[in-house]
Chains A and B, each alone.
Chain A
Amino acid sequence: MSNCEAARALLMGAVRGRLSATEQQQFDEHLRTCPACERLFARERELDRLFLARPPLVAPASLRAKLEAQLNPEPAAKPKAKPKSPWLRAAALGAPAIAVLLVALLWVQNRGSRDQLSAEAVNDHLRVLYASHPLEIENGGMHQVKPWFAGRLDFAPVVGFMGDEEFPLQGGAVGVFIDRKAATLVFKRRLHVITLFVFRAEGLHFPVHGDTKLGSISASSAHERGFNALLWNDADLGYALVSDLDATELAQLGQKLAAH
């Protein structure tokens, strides 16, 4: 391709990663010989980065409450039958209260550990988004990215998924998660950046009961400052997957990652 007009017709497709292999090759060849198109391509990508680095806008809690009410209109109240015996009445009142207390204790314990990990994961994800050069090794497939971590970490990150067309692997870097080194792997889904942190799980409190099944693994989901996070541990490694991608799609990637 020697023609700038043809290259610019492919420009947005190239920025979005939607070109066919042949088109991508033609586009890359043209860019190697045309500084003007190369600069325009860089600026389109920079424009995208600027847009995506903006703080996410999330629906206010008051709006979410109104939407929930729209979805679940209050059913008409039904008269409740009372137990006849005072003992039965006491048991009827006491047993649910104890059950609620136990569930609440478990929930608070789960939520505390989940919130701490998800807050850290979102902070680290934001660092990736805002960094000028977040990747130390660019995408060449997991077979290239994984060996790169050897010697840079005191553990081997176990990640079975190498990226595919839906979730292409962008690259990796060594980061820090709370107080320890972490393998940072960046995937994409359309325009969304997804960061996976793999780190030693020792000493961190993962929620006991997850709410999202990733194959045989039970992960815990969290929603924090407009980002979705999935947290799980497997053997002695911890995993945190974060993105502004919606929870369903994030879980799809989580399933691929956990299936090793």
Chain B
Amino acid sequence: MPPGERANEAGFGLELMAQADALYAFARRLCRDSTLAEDLVQETFARALDAREQFTVGSNLKAWLFRILRNLFWDKKRRDRRNPVDPRAGDEDSEASSSDVWLRGDLELERLRRLVSEDIQAALERLTDDARLVVLLDLEGFSDVETAEIMSCALGTVKSRLARARAHLREALREYAQ
């Protein structure tokens, strides 16, 4: 391998390693299983190394890696066919009602402040995979446009899915805080 190419290879490897923690945290919170999360991150690295010619230098490496990981997660879910069905998924009316319930009284904000990390994780786990994905990507700092690219869906879908998911989260956390 020529020296220039080797340097590029090393640089690409360093950039991948810089994303290892973020990828692991995302995978762990997405699939709720540390072994599976590790497998997903390793597989993401393997795919990224295989497909590195497809990556455009200067574009968003982090978004590209998250997209690979999300696709791997989805492939696995399809294989397992064990995706839990949330009865509230796609229930547009429930968003408004849960939001209205949430708006009752300032006491709710105080309760929210007393929640602990386990409550947050439990509330996240009550979401559907799609809803959890969009919440986690948003919290990771991706814009709605980037999230739409990672999830291969329309921008409007991301916005409505995020609003709905956060309304469900607030509703779930309101229950934990009582």
Q: Quick check: is B166 within 8 A (CB to CB) of the other chain?
A: yes
| A-B contact sample (13 more), CB < 8 A, given A54-B117, A57-B21, A192-B141 | A39-B109, A43-B102, A43-B112, A46-B113, A48-B139, A50-B120, A57-B28, A59-B24, A64-B17, A67-B16, A132-B113, A246-B18, A248-B18
Q: Quick check: is A165 within 8 A (CB to CB) of the other chain?
A: no
A residues less than 8 Å from B13 (CB atoms): 71-72
Q: How far is the CA of A199 from the CA of B64 in the complex (A)?
A: 39
Q: Closest CB of chain B to A88's CB: distance in Å?
A: 29
Q: Quick check: is A216 within 8 A (CB to CB) of the other chain?
A: no
A residues less than 8 Å from B112 (CB atoms): 43, 46-47, 50
Q: Closest CB of chain B to A232's CB: distance in Å?
A: 20
Please state if B166 and A44 are interface contacts (CB–CB under 8 Å).
Answer: yes
Q: How far is the CA of A70 from the CA of B48 in the complex (A)?
A: 11
Closest to B139 in A: A51
Q: How far is the CA of A141 from the CA of B41 in the complex (A)?
A: 40
> When A and B form their complex, what is the total count of cross-chain residue pairs whose Cβ atoms lie within 8 Å?
101
B residues less than 8 Å from A39 (CB atoms): 103, 106, 109
Q: Quick check: is B154 within 8 A (CB to CB) of the other chain?
A: no
- Name the interface residues of A15-40: CB closer than 8 Å to any CB of B: 18, 36, 39-40
Tell me if B's interface is mostly helix, strand, loop or mixed.
helix
Type the 1/0 row for B9-20, where 1 means its CB is closer than 8 Å to any CB of A: 000010011111
Please state if B22 and A71 are interface contacts (CB–CB under 8 Å).
Answer: no
A51 interface neighbour in B19, B49, B120, B163, Cβ under 8 Å: B120
Tell me if A's interface is mostly helix, strand, loop or mixed.
helix
Please state if B120 and A246 are interface contacts (CB–CB under 8 Å).
Answer: no
Please state if A12 and B120 are interface contacts (CB–CB under 8 Å).
Answer: no
Q: How far is the CA of A165 from the CA of B45 in the complex (A)?
A: 32
Chain A: interface residue count, which band?
35 or more
- Name the interface residues of B140-175: CB closer than 8 Å to any CB of A: 140-141, 143, 159, 162-163, 166, 169-170, 173
Q: How far is the CA of A36 from the CA of B38 in the complex (A)?
A: 43
Q: How far is the CA of A48 from the CA of B140 in the complex (A)?
A: 11
Q: Quick check: is B42 within 8 A (CB to CB) of the other chain?
A: yes
Q: Quick check: is A151 within 8 A (CB to CB) of the other chain?
A: no
16 examples of A-B residue contacts, CB within 8 angstroms: A12-B159, A12-B162, A12-B166, A39-B106, A42-B109, A43-B102, A46-B109, A50-B120, A60-B38, A63-B20, A63-B24, A63-B38, A63-B42, A67-B16, A70-B46, A248-B18
Q: Quick check: is A143 within 8 A (CB to CB) of the other chain?
A: no
